[in-house]
Structure 1
Amino acid sequence: MTEPKIALVTGASRGIGLSISQMLVGIGYTVYGLSRNPQNCKFTHELFHLMACDLSNSKEIDQFIISFPEIKNISLLIHNAGLAYFAPVEELSSEKIREMVSLHITAPMLLTSAFTRSLKQNNGRIVFIGSVSGKEISPWGNVYASLKAGIHHYARELFAELRKFGVKVHLIIPDITKTDFYNHLNFEPDEDPKSYLLPDQIASVIKDLVLNDQGWVVPEIQISPELFKLKRKKQN
């Protein structure tokens, strides 16, 4: 009997996380997804189990870890959840800073720590969805970009540590991707389809990594659209 393929995807109800979840279901994974607002997701499938968890709240993370039914069988952990507030540093409230730190740094570290023993036993894999902002100077992205740079380094540290135990770690660094990430920002991707990525394209890269297991590992991939174009939103 074939062992079940169990994946956990954070931020799974929309955007890149939803596309990754749909892709994994398509190749036979049972996907457990975490989302702050799972009721907003319209996608349903017998292999897709979306659960409510506010990943900016460490107590909710602890409770999820305790209650997660497949902790011993998990073989794929995908850290995707994220949000950004862009503003001059003195205009970022303490609440927004704490929320971003908790979501981008604390949550993936807590989940990774909780699941690594099982991932070692199952020759598993961890995928981090980073951001090109973590590699560049980002106007008004002082906190967000710094946190992404931090989680990039955490992924690289884990790659070096866990490869000794058969756990593969990948850092995926997307450039501008057309999602509702930009809904509350004052800029967005240009209309030119060559100037942005689509969530399904990110999912396709992960599919190749998961399926093409040939004894070597690609630890880091940056994906960029052909053109660089952004536009400022019109002020009402």
Structure 2
Amino acid sequence: MTTSHDNELVFVSGTSTGMGSATARELADRGYHVLAGVRSQADADAARGPRIEPVFLDVTNPEHIDALVARIADDPQGRKLVTLINNAGIAVNAPVETLPLEQWRRQFEVNLFGHIAVTQALLPFLHESRGRIVNISSLGGKVAMPTYGAYAGAKFALEAVSDALRRELAQHGVRVVVVEPGGVQTEMTGHGIERARQFVADMTPTQRQRYGGLMQAIINQATEFTAQGVTAEKAALVIAKAATVPKPRARYTVGRDAALMTRLARLLTDRTLDRLAAANLRPHMPKAAASA
């Protein structure tokens, strides 16, 4: 016996590519009407499909959020929002010393404050439906590797907000779930690698001397990490599970790497994790930097 979801809406942000796109398709295949957040007409045209309706949403734009609220409130078929999946995100990697402050602010605006703004706006609908919020965090929300200070900082904060929100909403029947992907084959990671290369080019000679080898090692490691990661479709299955199972866990990991590292972060001392991180980076260091 299958359950009909004809009267239910799901909203997923960041569906232009990768996990967001795959998640929208997976939930549409399960019978939900998916409102898919995109940022361009080309992305909207690519996202549109059976039970997938693209909506323009930059999570940092209050007017876009207001329009999303109006779309849900005035649904032509009277469908109810049952799930919000906060997936939009950007990846910026550079050492703390070298990353411009505006890039720090941009990272937090998209990966944290934007999700809070969307959540605040849509919570009245979820109270009504006793629905669910799924926040897409990261392995970086548990372990902060070198050059991931801004990205991990926003994800650590999202984890904390999710914990607070889960405890606040439990008595009202609204569930809050966190998904922590590790390596996933997505375009966002590729864009992050390209940004990292640009940051190296923009460093001062002194900064490049200090951090150039580290940045190259991080780029090499991230490239390999992504290539060995799970597909966006496999990640979408975990996200869909978190969004639909009757009694979800508080957290789900995606991929063996995320499962392993989140366990190690609980078990090992900080100094041991430091040594493990350094050992994992060493094979990716340029020869000159590794022998220095």
TM range (shorter): 0.7 to 0.9
Within a 5 Å distance, the mapping from 1:54-93 to structure 2 comes to 54-57=58-61, 59-70=62-73, 73-93=80-100
1:225 corresponds to 2:256 = yes
Contact 2:6 2:33 (8 Å CA) reproduced: no
Question: Where does the alignment leave 5 or more consecutive residues of structure 1 unmatched?
Answer: none
Of 174-183 and 88-97, deviating more is 88-97
Name the structure where helix makes up a greater proportion of residues. 2
Contact 1:35 1:51 (8 Å CA) reproduced: yes
Question: Aligned partner of 1:52: which letter?
Answer: F
Instruction: Detail structure 1 runs of 4+ shifted over 4 Å in the superposition.
Output: 226-232
Summarize the Cα distance change of 1:217–1:92 in structure 2 as closer, same or farther, 3 Å threshold. Answer: same
Contact 2:185 2:226 (8 Å CA) reproduced: no
Q: What is the rounded CA distance, in whole Å, between the counterparts of 1:67 and 1:78 in structure 2?
A: 18
Summarize the Cα distance change of 1:51–1:89 in structure 2 as closer, same or farther, 3 Å threshold. Answer: same
> Post-superposition shift, 1:206?
2.7
TM-score (ref. length: structure 1):
0.85
**Partner in structure 2 of residue 190 of structure 1:** 224
Structure 2 counterpart SS, 1:110? helix
Structure 2 counterpart SS, 1:206? helix
Question: Aligned partner of 1:167: which letter?
Answer: V
> Post-superposition shift, 1:223?
2.4
1:130 corresponds to 2:134 = no
Identity of aligned residues (%): 24
Task: Report Cα offsets for 1:50-90 as digits up to 9, x if no partner.
Answer: 12222233x33443345333478211000001011101223
Q: What is the rounded CA distance, in whole Å, between the counterparts of 1:208 and 1:83 in structure 2?
A: 24
> Post-superposition shift, 1:173?
0.4
1:27 corresponds to 2:30 = yes
Question: Aligned partner of 1:12: which letter?
Answer: T
> Post-superposition shift, 1:165?
1.1
Structure 1 counterpart SS, 2:134? strand
Q: What is the rounded CA distance, in whole Å, between the counterparts of 2:6 and 2:226 in structure 1?
A: 44
> Post-superposition shift, 1:140?
0.7
Q: What is the rounded CA distance, in whole Å, between the counterparts of 2:224 and 2:132 in structure 1?
A: 34
TM-score (ref. length: structure 2):
0.70
RMSD (Å) for aligned C-alpha atoms: 2.8
Aligned counterpart in structure 1 of residue 237 of structure 2, from 190, 199, 204: 204
**Partner in structure 2 of residue 47 of structure 1:** 51
Structure 1 counterpart SS, 2:72? coil
Task: Report Cα offsets for 1:32-52 as digits up to 9, x if no partner.
Answer: 111223513524313111122
Question: Where does the alignment leave 5 or more consecutive residues of structure 2 unmatched?
Answer: 197-218, 262-279, 287-292
> Post-superposition shift, 1:107?
1.1
1:113 corresponds to 2:85 = no
Within a 5 Å distance, the mapping from 1:141-152 to structure 2 comes to 141-152=148-159
Q: What is the rounded CA distance, in whole Å, between the counterparts of 1:123 and 1:191 in structure 2?
A: 38
Larger Cα Rg: Structure 1 or Structure 2? 2
Q: What is the rounded CA distance, in whole Å, between the counterparts of 2:151 and 2:113 in structure 1?
A: 14
